[in-house]
Structure 1
């Protein structure tokens, strides 16, 4: 089948990273999410901070790069996608035309066990007690460096094996960091600006554009910048575990330049990044308002028809407590491990979903 790549699992997020060599663009604060490799490097080296950059000079392919000692921009999905644009420019084929997926990598036979509020661990050994799961130590294999993992979503015509695998083959898939967020991304040259809210929105989007996982068709004569239908539904949750509202939708754009640099730009296209949402650290109770649904038709304001580019959607929830913060609160205060007071990872997270990309090439 066509390649799809795992962007999230219980050993962390692989979307992107700040501070990588050869990557130009503003800092993306959401790239600091669940960086398992930071803690792995700390445990191996005894040093705080991040692993260094992998060597990428002459004969680089002959030099072993064994993590967590070094990182490369191609270690992350966003920049692998941009590297694919560079490869296509050079050899005529994009070997990194990936769809996006996520999973748990569970070892406990609890597929889909991604709920932060009652996470029981993924290994069954070294994480069976909350006191083990909340510590950032190599003493416990299932320590707080791990997270509950992600989920794959598939836009299939029906819930059948053939239909699901067909959708995977055409890359009409998405990944989430755990919540059952439902993102939609369509691209085209003539998408109507009033699609959001229409009962026939999806029918029209399929007829006049292409869904996530696709190439934009050649631009018609006189076309301007491409348009994208960007939408998501929040996780509805359940009575026991209510869903969390969405905060915003973002379009992430990547491209390369003639000097081999990767460029990134993140556009907030719907919602409100300054909505004041947060959590009460004493109880993990959510605070502030958000959105059950978000939708817009967005036009790339900096489109250059001569430059190949890749676009994907990131749907972001309001802030919530990480599972380790929740489980620290369940332990009597005088029995809590020291990592509850000084955690290595941020105790407040923003869960998210990622669509598969849509690609633009100057040749269409």
Structure 2
């Protein structure tokens, strides 16, 4: 050993003699330095309420924005009813979107805040609220709801109070504290709760910006106006004043009684024109297609040939007294609106309904729960319990108890949904830009990974490329994109990949939904099965047989003995006509799994409700890709 040491140390070594083993600092060795395309999918919720929403607080919510963000990050949070709660997997981003109307009212009442002093209406509410019993809370909710439901005509009963500005500053502060670029994104936002005559025209506003910009405004509310065009004016003024960016996401067309995608403007009742179409798509690039108050992708009356159209259907009434009629349905559902939008584009030169699709919860518990086996309900009164109240509590009928249209709209709902965003990084800017670019998709709560590219040069061999995404962006367009500039003989082809939720169910099938405007100017649609699990063939555009069902209803369990972990396909439109406008979006269906009501029945040892199916097939909807002739 000693000899060896002497031998080795006797040779002088100069580090400079080794030379450099790396290229020049000017060399771009890492191939990803210039890659700026989205390379990861992020899952989040763009629609969540806490006790700062008056309707949530006055019906029992005690959770704060701080609680909501901690829960979304995967921490244990105590629910409004005292139940410890935690997500199986954290979210990547969250928007706390509390209602602008009397923002923070319950919190001010709970704190006996001076913000409500000197206002006769607030004094009356405070006296009703003071006992803090369930009966007092119910009465306080109706007292507030009577003022809220009157909208702009009744005016804001707290117009002279600093309540909203003060509470808005708290909400933006919570977002700032919890925003962790690269790890978790807290986007600043709120809900504008327009409801003319009780018909739902709600929008969630999402800011690209930080607290510094957002605090320069007081949220525009339905007390200011219930007309979306006035909201767009306010958004335009916000951007001009602050240099920031903001977008709005409409939701729940199924509760709008035909107003969400109407043919006329709300206030003037004049036919929508090109200016309206351009402005709507400038400020509202997305639509919330699925959430607890029903799934809004399609309706069986509008799509009778679609075997999967009747999912989470809520199609009776709204928040007001007007009954639902069949003629309202075409102006309430996403697929029909997408078709009608192309017809408008042919007529006006602009498409008012050219939106991408996301899902979110609209939970009023402060807890973003979209998993069927971990569902905390729409509101505190329907948080987990063995009482049948869990699926019988009225959601929309509290202000109109004598309205038969509300009889269907109970807490049963869906556990839906989730917003999936393809982004380059987990930051406010990257997520907002992807939302604005429509490179997003909706799920009903599952975390399916879905990717789509469309173009004219793709083939089946491209599915297995090592540079799949880079090649897709370089040679086609992703979900939310536009196909234009076709040469004679070109046909659109789609590369589609779908990967199951790693903690969820296998995949049943992948479908392409096509809508188009025919030569006579009529809108058409067709659903194509393009990939089927379990070796099933495709005959005339449909999988040969159903996938089966492994659910044990009594134990609320299932197996992944059927279905596929992963499905991919290259699909070309067999009915393509280059002269006709068209859109394509992808729908991915999982195998049947238990509904949340089935999980609850098994957990609490009670009988499940007999007015809802015990199983369902969760799904994802991508944003469309549009083809325009010429």
1:65 corresponding residue in structure 2:
none
1:196, distance to aligned residue in structure 2 (A)? 1.8
Distance between the aligned counterparts of 1:120 and 1:8, measured in 2? 17
**8 Å contact kept, 1:247–1:275:** yes
Question: Is it true that 1:284 corresponds to 2:556 in the alignment?
Answer: yes
Contact 2:377/2:411, CA 8 A, preserved across alignment: no
Post-superposition offset of 1:255: 1.4
Question: Following the alignment from structure 1 to structure 2, what is the Cα–Cα distance between the partners of residues 271 and 284?
Answer: 25
Q: Measure the CA separation in 2 of the matches of 1:328 and 1:285.
A: 12
**Counterpart pick for 1:304 among 570, 573, 577:** 577
Are residue 348 (structure 1) and residue 605 (structure 2) matched? Answer: no
* Aligned pairs (5 A) from 1:203-214: 203-214=470-481
Question: Partners in 2 of 1:183 and 1:101 — Cα distance?
Answer: 13
Q: Which residue of 2 aligns with 1:240?
A: none
Correspondence for 1:29 among 307, 315, 336: 307
Aligned partners of 1:216 and 1:358 also within 8 Å: yes
1:46-98 C-alpha deviation (Å, 9 max, x unpaired): xxxx94313xxxxxxxxxxxxxxxx3212100111111100000000111110
Structure 2 counterpart of 1:19: 301
Verify the 8 A CA contact 2:289 2:334 in the aligned structure 1.
Answer: yes
Equivalent positions of 1:146-157 (< 5 A) are: 146-157=413-424
Distance 1:29 1:222 in 2: 33
Give the Cα separation in 2 of the matches to 1:302 and 1:163: 37
Q: Secondary structure at the match of 1:254?
A: strand
Structure with larger RCO (C-alpha < 8 A, sep 6+): 1
1:242-261 map, 5 Å: 243-257=504-518, 261=522
2:341 alignment partner, one of 76, 81, 84: 84
Over 3 Å counting, the alpha-carbon distance change for 1:341 and 1:159 in structure 2 is closer
Provide the rounded CA distance (Å) in 2 between the counterparts of 1:151 and 1:260: 35
1:122 deviates by 2.6
Between Structure 1 and Structure 2, which shows a larger proportion of strand residues? 1
Aligned to 2:381: 125
Using the TM superposition, give the Cα deviation of residue 281 of structure 1 relative to its aligned residue in structure 2, in angstroms. 2.2
Q: Rg bigger for which structure?
A: 2
Aligned match of 1:61: none
How far does residue 220 in structure 1 lie from its aligned partner after superposition?
A: 2.5
Match of 1:322 among 575, 588, 595: 595
Q: Which is worse superposed, 126-135 or 228-237?
A: 126-135
- Return the alpha-carbon distance in structure 2 between the equivalents of residues 87 and 255 of structure 1: 12
Question: In the comparison of the two structures, how many residue pairs are matched?
Answer: 324
**Long gaps (5+) in structure 2:** 1-246, 248-281, 399-408, 534-542
CA deviation after TM superposition for structure 1 residue 198, in Å:
2.4
Inter-CA distance 279–205: structure 2 relative to 1 (3 Å threshold):
same
Residue of structure 2 aligned with 1:269, choices 520, 530, 536? 530
The one of 423, 429, 437 equivalent to 1:170 is: 437
Q: How much does 1:258 deviate?
A: 5.4
Tell me the residue number matched to 2:158. Answer: none
Aligned to 2:325: 52
Listed as ranges, the gaps of 5+ residues in structure 1 are 55-70, 238-242
Secondary structure of the corresponding residue to residue 231 of structure 1: strand
The answer to whether the Cα contact below 8 Å between 2:375 and 2:384 also exists between their aligned partners in 1 is no
Q: 1:181 to 1:131 in 2, by over 3 A?
A: same
| TM-score, normalization by structure 2 | 0.49
C-alpha deviations, 1:202-227, integer Å up to 9, x for none?
A: 1111111100001112113432x210
SS, match of residue 281 in structure 1: coil
CA contact (8 A) 1:212 1:357 kept: yes
Q: Where do 1:55-134 residues align within 5 Å? A: 71-111=328-368, 113-132=369-388, 134=390
Distance 2:347 2:315 in 1: 31
- Find the aligned partners of 1:169 and 1:18 in 2 and give their Cα distance: 30
Q: What is the DSSP-based 3-state SS (H/G/I as helix, E as strand, rest coil) of the residue aligned with 1:199?
A: coil
Counterpart pick for 2:501 among 223, 229, 235: 235
Deviations 1:150-176 (A, max 9, x none): 010111111111111111111101110
**In structure 2, do the counterparts of structure 1 residues 51 and 278 end up closer, same or farther at CA, with 3 Å as the change threshold?**
farther
Please provide the CA RMSD for this pair: 2.4
Within 1, Cα distance between the matches of 2:310 and 2:380?
28
Q: Distance in 2 between matches of 1:52 and 1:259?
A: 27
Change (3 A) 1:174 1:295: same
Change (3 A) 1:133 1:192: farther
- Return the alpha-carbon distance in structure 2 between the equivalents of residues 286 and 124 of structure 1: 29
Paired residues for 1:326-337 under 5 Å = 326-333=599-606, 336=607
- Displacement of 1:302 in angstroms is 0.8
1:328 to partner: Cα distance? 1.7
1:121–1:133 CA contact under 8 A, matched in 2: no
Q: Deviations over 1:233-254 (max 9, x none)?
A: 11112xxxxx111111100001
Cα distance in 2 for residues equivalent to 1:160 and 1:359: 28
Cα deviation code 1:127-166 (max 9, x no counterpart)? 4524246534639989443122201011111111111111
Local SS of the residue matching 2:347: helix
Stretch moving more, 175-184 or 140-149: 140-149
